Amino acid sequence: MWEDTLRSAAGPATQTGRRHGGPRGSAHRIFWEPGTITIASTADTILAEVAAATGLAEGPAGVRDVILAISRTEPVAVRAVSQLAELPVPIVTAICNELRKRGVVDRSRPVRLTEAGREVFGGGQPGLTARCPECGGRGVSSPEVAARLTAELSEAAEAAPEAKPELDQTHCTVDTKIARVLALHESGALAGTRILLLGDDDLVSVAIARCTGLHGTAGRGSAATREGAVALQKAGDDDAAALHAAGGLAGAAGLAGRGRQLTVVDTDQDVLDCIAAQTADSGLDLRLVRHDLRQPLPADLVGGFDVACTDPPYTVAGAELFLSRAVAALAPGGGQHVFFSFGARRPDDMLRTQQLIAGLGLVLRGLTPNFNEYVGAGVLAGTSHLYHLRTAAGAGPLITGAYDGPLYTADHRAAVTRPYQCANCRAVHPVGPGARWPKIASLQADGCPECGGTVFRPMPLKQR
């Protein structure tokens, strides 16, 4: 084990930094005085040891990213380090614990480096940031729109149905709702386009409705046409096409060329009901369709859109399925827009995601890290990236028929248990299906069998 030993000599300091083998062979101790240590081999060894101890797929480079994030922002909460290093909160917690054992991270909280840690891993330029203070790194900002819409959208968010974890639902913040609409606007993907939202528990459709009302950009036409434009169609999987063909949106059809056509597809009826209530007076051509995307899109939703937006389940399988449905819904030919929200994953998962994006015939036009912020998504640090993609001429879905494989996070982790460590006595207890405690709440309610403690820290899985 690496330890940090700070010595204050009685007389002038004469001892240089030395590296010694510990008493048990595998343990090491750094004798350190500021300005005297040779850091290259020490730093590399610490990075390699911590990466191995935590089973980090990103390897030593991932540990270095965590240290760099701390050095630039200390003292800092683990959640903030997680966002900057693009690693899940439990993984960052485990890395910080290993760095504490080696004297790099101080034992106090919020997280900060020790003096030895700063000496060995210095160069983080603390306090220096090149991030735009206006947009926070998102690349879009409108104080006018934010000032006029934040209160309204906050009320809408309060009325939203409770997020359903089994569907990987986690509501985005009001600032994110506004930023997504601004991103559509700046990309030329808002005015006069046919927009499809594949899943909308974030209520982005409501944000679009309020924003268009704010600037008067809804379609213009006769009074009768405007009346038709507010018609909301709620259709099940079997009757969606029939209702559409029967003329449920006949009045709004005349606006398609001039105004905006917005369609929301979601499997959650509670979400659709909320959107209907929040947009009833918007003047938009809005269609709400209840549909499970594990089934192919209804025929009348195929090939008819200019823009598709999706924030899919937190899995590569979810990304592939939802992007496939998005591409199937877009009009043929190149240049159609896809706005895809997806968080950081381990390197092999990110590689698979990028490969399937290319396989779908989608071209990356922009990627904004941590664009989306979510309420209460602690393990994933509450953020995801926003990809702006455009279709190439030969774009096509990778999944065309029904999908019956694992989709949501729970499907992939059904048989996985996670170890939790008691903060008091440091005993480790497995939590998950088949374990004594199926959920962390159960362990907290019972207390640690060793000491009765009720505070537990998640430890990393070997695979994530």
Residue 264 has a pLDDT of: 98
Q: Are residues 369 and 444 in the same domain?
A: no
- Integer Cα distance of 50 and 53 in angstroms: 5
* Poorest-pLDDT segment among 101-115, 139-153, 258-272: 258-272
Q: Are residues 27 and 175 in the same domain?
A: no
CA proximity to 439, closest of 464, 420, 460: 420
Placement of tokens 């907290």 in the chain = 444
CA proximity to 54, closest of 420, 389, 463, 379: 463
Q: Are residues 36 and 149 in the same domain?
A: no
Q: Are residues 159 and 107 in the same domain?
A: no
Residue 165 has a pLDDT of: 84
Q: Is the pLDDT of residue 244 over 90?
A: no
Instruction: Indicate whether 405 belongs to any domain.
Output: no
- Integer Cα distance of 272 and 266 in angstroms: 7
Instruction: Indicate whether 137 belongs to any domain.
Output: no
User: Span 145-164, mean pLDDT?
Assistant: 94
Task: Locate 358 and state its tokens.
Answer: 């290319």
Q: What is the pLDDT of residues 277-321, one digit of tens each?
A: 999 988 889 999 999 999 999 999 999 999 999 999 989 999 999
User: Span 195-201, mean pLDDT?
Assistant: 97
- DSSP single-letter state for residue 300: G
Q: Which DSSP helix (H) or strand (E) runs through 6?
A: strand 4-6
Q: Are residues 258 and 110 in the same domain?
A: no
Query: Percentage of the chain with pLDDT > 90?
Result: 60
Residue 122 has a pLDDT of: 74
Give the confidence band of 413 by pLDDT, cuts at 50, 70, 90. low
Domain that holds residue 279: 143-391
Instruction: Indicate whether 125 belongs to any domain.
Output: no
Instruction: Indicate whether 267 belongs to any domain.
Output: yes
Q: What is the pLDDT of residues 435-458, one digit of tens each?
A: 899 888 889 999 999 999 999 988
Q: Is the pLDDT of residue 153 over 70?
A: yes
Give the confidence band of 226 by pLDDT, cuts at 50, 70, 90. very low
Q: What is the pLDDT of residues 101-141, one digit of tens each?
A: 999 999 998 999 999 999 888 766 777 778 898 998 999 99
Residue 461 has a pLDDT of: 61
Residue 124 has a pLDDT of: 63
**Which residues does 105 contact at the CB level (< 8 Å), separation at least 6?**
70, 96, 99, 111, 112, 113, 114, 117
Q: Are residues 347 and 241 in the same domain?
A: yes
> How far from 109 is each of 74, 77, 96, 113, 285, CA to CA, in Å?
10, 8, 11, 10, 52
Q: What is the DSSP string of 126-186?
A: TT---S-TTTTTSS---HHHHHHHHHHHHHHHHTSPPP-GGGT--PBPHHHHHHHHHHHHH
Residue 246 has a pLDDT of: 35
Q: Is the pLDDT of residue 205 over 60?
A: yes
CA proximity to 249, closest of 233, 226, 271, 267: 233
Q: Within a 13 Å sphere around the CA of 11, how many CA atoms are in the beta-carbon half? A: 2
Q: What is the pLDDT of residues 16-68, one digit of tens each?
A: 333 333 333 333 444 445 444 444 458 999 999 999 999 999 999 999 999 99
Residue 377 has a pLDDT of: 57
Q: Is the pLDDT of residue 352 over 90?
A: yes
Instruction: Indicate whether 127 belongs to any domain.
Output: no
Instruction: Indicate whether 158 belongs to any domain.
Output: yes
- Integer Cα distance of 462 and 408 in angstroms: 20
User: Span 169-196, mean pLDDT?
Assistant: 95
Q: Are residues 101 and 247 in the same domain?
A: no
Task: Locate 464 and state its tokens.
Answer: 């994530």
The better pLDDT of the pair 5, 157 is held by 157
Query: From its phi and psi, is residue 199 left (phi > 0), alpha (psi between -120 and 50) or beta?
Result: left
Q: Are residues 197 and 155 in the same domain?
A: yes
Q: Are residues 194 and 297 in the same domain?
A: yes
- Integer Cα distance of 457 and 447 in angstroms: 13
User: Span 416-433, mean pLDDT?
Assistant: 86
- DSSP single-letter state for residue 301: G
Q: Are residues 105 and 197 in the same domain?
A: no
**Which residues does 52 contact at the CB level (< 8 Å), separation at least 6?**
none
Instruction: Indicate whether 401 belongs to any domain.
Output: no
- DSSP single-letter state for residue 17: P
- Sequence-distant contacts of 254-259: CB under 8 A, at least 24 apart: 254/221, 254/225, 254/228, 255/219, 255/221, 255/225, 255/228, 255/229, 255/285, 256/194, 256/285, 257/192, 258/192, 258/219, 258/220, 258/221, 259/192, 259/218, 259/219, 259/220, 259/221, 259/229, 259/284, 259/285
- Integer Cα distance of 210 and 66 in angstroms: 40
Residue 379 has a pLDDT of: 55
Q: Are residues 157 and 82 in the same domain?
A: no
Q: Are residues 369 and 425 in the same domain?
A: no
Q: What is the pLDDT of residues 319-329, one digit of tens each?
A: 999 999 999 99
- Integer Cα distance of 320 and 310 in angstroms: 11
Which CATH number do you get for residue 75? 1.10.10.10
Q: What is the pLDDT of residues 333-347, one digit of tens each?
A: 999 999 999 998 889
- Is residue 121 within 8 A of residue 99, CB to CB? The reply is no
Residue 254 has a pLDDT of: 29
Bridge pairing between strands 418-422 and 456-458: antiparallel
Which CATH number do you get for residue 186? 3.40.50.150
Instruction: Report the chain's mean pLDDT, rounded to a whole number.
Output: 81
Q: What is the DSSP string of 230-265?
A: T--EEE-TTTHHHHHHTTTTHHHHTTTTTS-EEEEE
Q: Domain ends where: 120, 135, 167?
A: 120
Q: How many domains, the chain?
A: 3
Q: What is the pLDDT of residues 207-222, one digit of tens each?
A: 999 988 775 444 433 3
User: Span 368-383, mean pLDDT?
Assistant: 79
Q: What is the DSSP string of 67-130?
A: HHHHHHH-SB-HHHHHHHHT--HHHHHHHHHHHHHTTSB-SSSSB-B-HHHHHHS----TT---
Instruction: Indicate whether 402 belongs to any domain.
Output: no
